[in-house]
Chain A
Amino acid sequence: MANYANLQAAIDAGITNMTAKRNNSKNDDNTDTIATGITWFYFNSVQVTNLYVSGNSWIGFGASSEHLKVNRRDAAVWYEYTETGTIGTYKFLKLRWVGYSHFNYTDDVHLQQYDVFVLDTGQIYLNWFDVPTASFDGVNALVCGSNTTSFAATAGAVCEYTFTPSDAATGTGWSVASGRPNLVVDHKTSGSAIFTATGITGTMAASSIGWTESKPDGTTLTVSVSTDGTNYSSVTNGGALLMAGTVLDNATIYIKVEMATTDATVTPTLSNLSISLQSAEDRYSIVLEMQPLERFESAAGNITVAYAGGSLMGEGGPVAAFTQSFSPSDLAYKGDQNDAEHIEMSVTATGTLTRIYYIDMAPQDMGHIEISSITATGTLTNVNDL
């Protein structure tokens, strides 16, 4: 169950938080019954405890009847997903229908996908985000009892419709309008969040912090940092996280995000909060990475590193050419660096081999091989001992 800040977030989530009820399995003319798990939605005076999802692109709300028809024709559905959650303070049930507008085709021109949101406002929201360009002659309508509410769609053109009942308690008296439901989300006017990074040790030489943010008009978002959880300093997006020279010993870094809005229908957002820390020691070092097939796990002596004098610049000037040897004393020896595993074994064998002969030369029989009187002695090295 996911909670979204607004309808757009619930749409953008796609199938991320959805549960597959049909997964890559064609349903041509049958109807899947999907328990909704909700009690708050009624359609045609029936509590919608089940959805009935047809391969012919219609959905029944609480009854196996053709209520919502989306290019309803002889189509086929391959995937069905559902999700429940909240959008702000509103409850929703979301259904995704993924299939093709013709039962016998699975190409792009027939691809048909849409989301149906059932909301506790009593409304139904259709987000038809993949409209086929072929076999597009089906019926588009919401049918409630004897009342049919049709809506228009154009081949290949994305469209959205909101169906609203005159009586939300019973789900009757439906009307349709192009577009999305007006879900006024009532947010808190201020709030905060604190995140931590633990076990940080070193003398900070460089650090940074960054995030992705959205600040609609009337909202604010600030980020501050502390190493004691009490005294916070404001930081900027992409700026330094800590002052150079800050000494940390298994420390915890606290990052506080504070948000506020003067309009409760909108909220600032923050995501992708990341930090980067480089200790002073890191700045003294450089890493050489070898070609994958030229590793040195088979070194039988000292490794020698020579630098010919490139553009490596030290604090005191260019790094001079040097040659330095060191002993990789605890490398795990591997006999052949190109082998994932190298097995050594020593074996001797003595024995009397009996000639091998075919006793049946029939073509259907590839031959019977008979071996007897063979003995062997030797010393085998257990693989685990290598």
Chain B
Amino acid sequence: MSWTKADGAKIKITFDRPIVSGQAGQQSFFTVTVPEYTFVPGGTLQNVTKTVKSTYALAGVQQTLDLSAGTLTDTAVSNGVLSLGGA
């Protein structure tokens, strides 16, 4: 397992075989328990059960390409639209 360090908001679970379906909407089946000190002076250590907001599959890379950054041959880009260039 791994986790996000910056804000402790996400946990990634990696299995030894592919997950083929059901990645989303499983939050009610997961319980995350964390030992934390109570927020009072001299607080005691206790296990706190955290609420999982959502579950989802890793999306991988999603990218919208910048058309103006392409190599254009007799085409033109204007306002994000590619078309044939002027003769």
Contact = CB atoms under 8 A, between A and B. Distances in A.
Mutual binders A and B: yes
Interface of A: 2-5, 9, 12-13, 16-17, 86, 88-89, 185-197, 200, 202, 205-206, 255, 257, 259-261, 264, 267-292, 294-316, 319, 324, 326, 328, 330-332, 335-337
Interface string B4-25: 0111111111111111111101
A289 B10 contact: yes
B60 A331 contact: no
Given A188-B85, A190-B74, 14 more contacts: A2-B78, A3-B76, A187-B83, A192-B75, A197-B63, A202-B60, A268-B84, A284-B17, A288-B55, A296-B32, A304-B34, A310-B26, A311-B21, A330-B5
Contact of A267 (B1, B28, B79, B84): B84
A263 to B, nearest CB: 11
A296 B86 contact: no
B31 to A, nearest CB: 4
Interface of B: 1, 3, 5-23, 25-37, 39, 45, 50-67, 69-87
A166 B7 CA distance: 70
Contacts of A312: 19, 22-23, 26, 29
Given A17-B79, A310-B22, A289 B65 contact: no
B60 A274 contact: no
B37 A298 contact: yes
A285 B13 contact: yes
A115 to B, nearest CB: 15
A300 B26 contact: no
A188 to B, nearest CB: 4
Nearest to A309: B29
A185 B22 contact: no
Given A288-B52, A331-B3, A187 B36 contact: no
A284 B86 CA distance: 49
29 contacts: A3-B76, A12-B79, A188-B84, A195-B71, A264-B87, A270-B83, A273-B67, A274-B63, A276-B60, A277-B62, A284-B18, A287-B10, A287-B11, A287-B12, A288-B10, A288-B32, A289-B55, A290-B50, A294-B51, A296-B8, A296-B32, A296-B36, A305-B13, A307-B26, A308-B30, A308-B31, A313-B20, A315-B17, A336-B39
A314 B19 contact: yes
Given A261-B84, A287-B11, A336-B39, A303 B59 contact: no
A9 B86 CA distance: 14
A290 B17 contact: no
Contacts of A272: 64, 80
B82 A193 contact: yes
A197 B65 contact: yes
Contacts of B13: 285-288, 305, 324
Interchain residue pairs A-B with the least CB separation, the first 5: A191-B74, A310-B29, A278-B60, A297-B8, A301-B35
B72 A191 contact: yes
Contact of B73 (A13, A191, A273, A284): A191
A277 B22 contact: no
Q: Which of B25, B30, B69, B81 has the most chain A CB within a 10 Å cutoff?
A: B81
Task: Name the residue among A185, A285, A302, A330 with the largest chain B CB count within 10 angstroms.
Answer: A285
A288 B9 CA distance: 8
A314 B58 contact: no
Given A86-B86, A188-B86, A302-B35, A288 B20 contact: no
A185 to B, nearest CB: 7
A310 B28 contact: yes
Contacts of A296: 3, 8, 32, 34, 36, 50
A315 B64 CA distance: 31
A257 to B, nearest CB: 6
Contacts of B14: 281, 284-285
A319 B21 CA distance: 10
Contact of A192 (B20, B52, B63, B74): B74
B53 A300 contact: no
B87 A186 contact: yes
A5 B35 contact: no
B30 A306 contact: yes
